């Protein structure tokens, strides 16, 4: 992976930069395949992902899916979890009236 690895201790600002960098690197250079071609050459599509390449799948010319390297997905999941925690911590700092966990989660999810 071109960007540095993300861990649970990576600061949120570094995580955002890393994910933006990863996304830009992979999606900018991503090949686009119609779904029929992707199905016909699925093994090749997977091989390309194992070699750090992202493939965008289209249906009727519209982007509908992507096959990405597993490490990119893993790093995205870490980023997403850290972003959720950041939003919850931000909501907890609010000096306003107390909120239930359900209210806080609903607010956090609407911010995404």
Q: What is the CATH number of the domain that holds 41?
A: 3.40.1620.10
Task: Give the pLDDT confidence score for residue 12 in this predicted structure.
Answer: 56
Q: Is residue 18 part of a domain?
A: yes
Q: Is residue 45 part of a domain?
A: yes
Phi and psi torsions of 100, nearest 5°: -75, 165
Q: Is residue 24 part of a domain?
A: yes
Task: Give the pLDDT confidence score for residue 16 in this predicted structure.
Answer: 54
Number of domains in the chain: 1
Q: What is the mean pLDDT of the chain?
A: 78
- What is the per-residue pLDDT across 37-71, written as a single tens digit (0 to 9) for each? 999 999 999 999 999 999 999 999 999 999 999 99
Q: Is residue 76 part of a domain?
A: yes
Half-sphere exposure of 83 (CA within 13 A, CB side): 16
Q: Is residue 107 part of a domain?
A: yes
Q: Is residue 103 part of a domain?
A: yes
Q: What's the average model confidence in pLDDT over 18-24? A: 55
Q: Is residue 84 part of a domain?
A: yes
What pTM was estimated for this model as a whole?
0.56
Phi and psi torsions of 76, nearest 5°: -60, -45
């Amino acid at each position: 992976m071109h960007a540095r690895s993300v861990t649970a201790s990576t600061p949120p600002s570094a995580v955002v930069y890393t994910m933006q960098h990863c996304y830009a690197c992979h999606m900018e250079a991503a090949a686009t395949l119609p779904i029929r071609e992707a199905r016909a050459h699925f093994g090749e599509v997977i091989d390309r992902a194992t070699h750090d390449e992202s493939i965008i799948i289209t249906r009727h010319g519209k982007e509908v899916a992507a096959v990405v390297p597993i490490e990119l997905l893993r790093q995205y999941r870490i980023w997403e979890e850290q972003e959720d925690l950041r939003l919850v911590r931000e909501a907890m700092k609010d000096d306003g009236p107390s909120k239930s966990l359900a209210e806080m989660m609903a607010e956090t999810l609407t911010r995404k």
